[in-house]
């Protein structure tokens, strides 16, 4: 369980509020009302910089943020919903009386992509689950990016507060570019089957896997693109381009990345998805494997193939601009 997910901001808020003027939550005429603000941030990425407001509007459909409020015992009180337009500055005003609370935030939830029953009054935060909607265990559509965070906070009497609720992204995208090294070869997107297999399609309130059901993630985009040679404009190279997404990737769990050609019954590329993606983690990052998988949310996989004779043979694999040595991979590794 990631300690970042349980960021306790009480000390921070107390320090900040100690320098603010006195106020009164019952609106004493002699004192100004106490204002309590909550700021949403998303810095748990590879840039270590806040990208929350950008993520709200970087897909075709803007994301809504749901804030779920629980009492100090973790029992549900109520929820608030904030459309992207209401979070241009990344913060909202809290209408809470003095006391201790547990907050849970989800950005990107929607009824098309996810199942998340609304909690009833008195239900506990431990009962919360969100599940990716799948058809027979397979997800083949583009998901809304999903972000999650929890926070314990205290609303004091007679002091204003300004809290930060940090979010973690719970979805990933992988883009594939398949190129035949034999120049002039025509490609058909339907000749290739690409799929990722994981055991994480449901999450609890802390963003941890809830269950071990197998989920298969297949492309929501798969097409052929053409690139013109820079020197010989008459020469064109075709590539199969595909994109798929997954929910949170968990190091040490059973996963697979499998690519197949229509003329073959055995995948020509069959590796552990998490082990494969972790090959791109540079030593200078100085972060653990799971933190890397949680911070890095997009990958580009370029594979050069030899398709002579109707069979697919890997010549070179490049992930996020890093060339992966084929002897580092077991291309026939058993998948999930």
Beta strands in 206-263 (DSSP E): 215-217, 221-228, 236-247, 256-261
Could you read off the pLDDT of 133-143 as tens digits, one per residue? Answer: 999 999 999 99
Residues 92, 233, single domain; the answer is no
Q: Are residues 196 and 301 in the same domain?
A: yes
193 and 165 assigned to the same domain: no
Would you say residue 138 lies in a domain?
Answer: no
Say yes or no: 248 and 216 in one domain.
yes
- Domain of 72 in residue numbering reads as 3-109+144-169
d(CA 39, CA 49): 15
Q: Are 299 and 174 in contact (CB under 8 A)?
A: yes
What percentage of the chain exceeds 70 in pLDDT?
A: 86
Domain assignment present for residue 137? The answer is no
Contact by Cβ (8 Å): 46, 168: no
Number of other residues whose CB lies within 10 A of the CB of residue 96:
18
The answer on 305 and 265 residing in a single domain is yes
Same domain, 184 and 165: no
CATH assignment at residue 158: 2.60.40.2100
Residues 72 and 180 in one domain: no
Closest CA to 129 of 120, 118, 116: 116
Does residue 99 share a domain with residue 188?
no
* Same structural domain, 253 and 280: yes
Is 263 among the domain residues?
yes
CB atoms within 10 A of CB 123: 15
Spatial separation of the C-alpha atoms in residues 113 and 119, rounded to whole Å:
18
**Residue 228: its pLDDT value, please?**
78
The percentage of the chain sitting over the pLDDT mark of 90, rounded to a whole number, equals: 74
332: pLDDT strictly greater than 50 = no
Q: Both 224 and 155 in a single domain? A: no
Same domain, 180 and 264: yes
Cα separation, 80 vs 94, whole angstroms: 10
Residue 247 sits in a domain whose CATH number is: 2.60.40.2090
- Residue 236 or 91, more confident: 91
Instruction: Give pTM, 2 decimals.
Output: 0.89
The answer to whether residue 307 sits within a structural domain is yes
More confident residue, 282 or 178: 178
pLDDT at 10: 41
Per-residue pLDDT band at 51 (split at 50, 70, 90): very high
Residue 139 lies in a domain: no
Does 128 map to a domain? no
pLDDT of res. 32: 77
Is residue 48, in this structure, part of any structural domain at all? yes
Q: What is the pLDDT of residue 330?
A: 58
Instruction: Quick: pLDDT tens for 118-128.
Output: 999 999 999 99
Q: What is the mean pLDDT of residues 150-171?
A: 97
Q: In what order do the strands lie in the sheet with 221-228?
A: 221-228, 236-247, 171-180, 298-306, 313-319, 322-324
- Chosen domain end from 123, 153, 169: 169
CA dist 127 and 201 (Å) reads 16
Q: What is the pLDDT of residue 234?
A: 64
pLDDT band at 33 (very low <50, low <70, confident <90, very high): confident
Structural domain includes residue 238: yes
Number of domains composing the chain: 2
Distance between CA atoms of residues 1 and 203, nearest Å: 12
Whether 295 and 208 share a structural domain? yes
Angstrom distance (rounded) from CA 31 to CA 35: 12
């Amino acid at each position: 369980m990631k300690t970042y997910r349980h960021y306790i901001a009480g000390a921070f808020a107390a320090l900040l509020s100690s320098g603010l003027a006195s106020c009164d939550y019952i609106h004493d005429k002699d004192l100004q009302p106490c204002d309590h603000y909550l700021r949403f941030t998303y810095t748990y990425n590879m840039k270590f910089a806040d990208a929350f407001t950008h993520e709200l509007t970087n897909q075709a459909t803007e994301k809504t943020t749901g804030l779920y409020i629980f009492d100090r015992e973790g029992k549900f009180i109520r929820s608030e919903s904030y459309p992207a337009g209401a979070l241009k500055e990344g913060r909202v005003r809290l209408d809470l009386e003095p006391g201790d609370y547990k907050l849970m935030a989800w950005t990107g939830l929607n009824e098309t992509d996810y199942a998340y029953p609304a909690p009833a009054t008195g239900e506990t935060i431990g009962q919360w689950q969100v599940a990716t909607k799948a058809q027979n265990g397979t997800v083949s559509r583009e998901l809304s990016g999903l972000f999650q965070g929890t926070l314990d906070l205290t609303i004091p009497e007679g002091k204003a507060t300004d809290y930060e609720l940090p979010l973690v992204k719970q979805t990933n995208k992988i883009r594939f570019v398949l190129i035949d090294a034999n120049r002039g070869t025509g490609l058909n997107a339907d000749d290739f089957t690409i799929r990722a297999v994981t055991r994480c399609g449901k999450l609890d309130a802390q963003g941890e896997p809830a269950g071990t059901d197998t989920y298969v993630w297949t492309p929501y985009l798969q097409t052929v693109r053409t690139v013109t040679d820079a020197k010989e404009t008459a020469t064109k190279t075709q590539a199969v381009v595909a994109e798929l997404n997954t929910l949170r990737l968990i190091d040490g769990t059973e996963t697979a990345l499998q690519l197949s050609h229509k003329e073959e019954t055995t995948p020509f590329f069959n590796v552990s998805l998490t082990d494969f993606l972790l090959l791109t983690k540079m030593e200078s990052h100085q972060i653990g494997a799971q933190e890397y998988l949680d911070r890095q949310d997009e990958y580009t996989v370029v594979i050069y193939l030899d398709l002579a004779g109707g069979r697919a043979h890997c010549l070179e694999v490049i992930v996020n601009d890093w060339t992966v040595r084929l002897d580092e991979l077991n291309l026939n590794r058993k998948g999930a």
